[in-house]
Structure 1
C-alpha cells in the first residue's frame, strides 16, 4: 500500500470538504491540488475529483436529515412547508441535470484546466464583491420561503457552476441573494441543491469509469478521500452556518480575486511552485 498516495487522498478529501460549500470552487481547488501534488494518473484523478464530492454531500444529508426528510415526504403527504421545499429543489435541479447530461463531458474535456479555474475565480470574486456592496432587499428569510419562481432562477444560475472555478455554492448562494433570499436561507438552499446534482454526477461518473480503479488499493485510496471529505465537510457546514449569521462573504471575494490572479500568473508564465 502506497502510504504517500493515501496521504494525498486524505489531503484531497480535506480540500473537498472545506471548499465544497464555500463560494470559492471546490472543483477548481481539487484540480489545482491534484496538479500540485501530482496526484495519481490523470484518468484516476479526474474520476476522484468528481466522485469524492459525494462524501461532502453526505455530510449535508446527515446534518439536515430532518428537514430533508420533511421535504421528501411532503411531496406525498401534502404537508405545506415540506411539499413547497421539495418541489422547489426539484425545479431548481432540472436545468443543470439537462445541461450536464448534454454538455458535461465536453465541458470537462475543454475547461478542466488551471487557466479556466483562475478566470472563473476572478470573475466570481468580482460578482460577490459587487453584491455585498449593493445588497438587495431580503424577501425570503427562511429556505421554505423561497418561491418556485426564485427556485427556477437559482437552478438556471447553477448551470454556470459546470465551468471550473465558478463554484456551485458561489453561483447558487450569490444568485439567490440577488433574488432577495437571505444569506442564511441562500446558504442552506445551496446545501440542499447540491444533493441531486453532486450525487447524480458522482454516481454517473463511477458507473461510466469505475473500471479505471482496477485494484483494491485504488478503491482504498478512493474511500479514504470520500470519508475524509465527509468529516471535514460536516465540520465546515456547522462553522459556515454560524459564520453567515454574523458576517458577509467579502473575505471570499478577495480570496477568489487574489488566488485567481496568482494562478493565472503561474499558468501564463510557466513558473512552478516547486
Structure 2
C-alpha cells in the first residue's frame, strides 16, 4: 500500500465511520479495486486509523468528556454488551467477515430499514444525550452488538437503538459518537495485539502510513460529524437508506460478474 492509497482509505474511514452507511462495505470496494485487500498491514491499517476518528469525537465534544463521572460510567455500561459478545462469538464474527455476500445483504436490508425509521420513532422523550439513564445506555449497547455483522454499520445500529428508546435523532447520534470512543479504541487495541501475536512488525514506512492515515481520518471525521448532525436533524435517514441500497446492489452485481471482493 502506498501513501495515496492510505490517504484514500483514511478519507473513506473518516466519512463513513460515523454515518449509517457502513465503513466495511466501502473499505471492501476500494481495497478490492486497488488490489490491496489481502495485505495483512492493510487489514491492520483500516482498524488502526479509527484512532484518528475517535480523537475527532473527543475534540468536538471536549467539554462533554470532562463533565461528570456518570458520563464515563454510562459509556462503560453501553460498551459491556459488545465486549461480551465479541469475546464469546469472535470465531463466528470472523467467519461473517469473510463473506462479501453477507456484507451486501446487510447493506441492502439496513438500507430498506432506514427508509422507514423516521416514521417508526416519532415520539421523543430525551432531547439531550446527557439525560440518558444507565438502563437506556445498556439497551443501546445491545443494539451495537448487531453491528458485529459486517455491513450493518455501528453508528446506524446505535442511533436507531437510541431512537427506539425515544431519543431525538440528534441525541441518539451524539451518544453513538461517544460510544464509538471505547468501542473503536478496544477494536484497535485488539487488532494491534493480534498483529504482533501473529509475528507482524511495522516498518518505518508503515508507521508513517499509520500516522498520515490517522491525521487524515481525524480531519475528515470532524467534518463528517458536523455535516451528519445537521443533515440528520433536518432530513432524517431516508437518503442514507437509498445510498446503502445502491452500494449493496453494486457489490452484488460485482460478485455476480465474477469480480473478487476481499474483506479488509
TM-score (norm 2): 0.91
Matched, 1:263 2:260: no
SS in 2 for 1:162: coil
Aligned to 1:98: 84
In structure 1, how many angstroms separate the alpha carbons of the residues matched to 2:146 and 2:82?
9
SS in 2 for 1:212: coil
| Matched residues, number | 259
Identify which of 37, 44, 58 aligns with 2:41: 44
Aligned to 1:181: 167
For residue 242 of structure 1, report the CA deviation from its aligned partner: 2.0
Unaligned 5+ segments in structure 1 are 76-82
In structure 2, how many angstroms separate the alpha carbons of the residues matched to 1:226 and 1:112?
25
For residue 105 of structure 1, report the CA deviation from its aligned partner: 4.9
Unaligned 5+ segments in structure 2 are none
Q: Alpha-carbon deviations, 1:145-178, whole Å to 9, x = none?
A: 2232221111001001111100000000112112
Aligned to 1:205: 191
Say what the alpha-carbon RMSD is for the aligned residues: 1.9
In structure 2, how many angstroms separate the alpha carbons of the residues matched to 1:219 and 1:39?
17
Identify which of 55, 67, 73 aligns with 2:64: 67
Deviates more, 1:151-160 or 1:131-140: 131-140
Identify which of 117, 141, 150 aligns with 1:155: 141
For residue 185 of structure 1, report the CA deviation from its aligned partner: 0.2
SS in 2 for 1:152: helix
In structure 2, how many angstroms separate the alpha carbons of the residues matched to 1:101 and 1:60?
26
Q: Alpha-carbon deviations, 1:71-118, whole Å to 9, x = none?
A: xxx22xxxxxxx2x3332121110001111332354134424421221
TM-score (norm 1): 0.88
Change beyond 3 A, Cα 1:148–1:159: same
Identify which of 222, 242, 248 aligns with 2:236: 248
Structure with the higher fraction of residues in helix conformation: 1
Runs of 4+ deviating beyond 4 Å: none
Q: Alpha-carbon deviations, 1:18-73, whole Å to 9, x = none?
A: 00100011122123221111126431121112211111111101111110111xxx
Identify which of 174, 182, 206 aligns with 1:218: 206
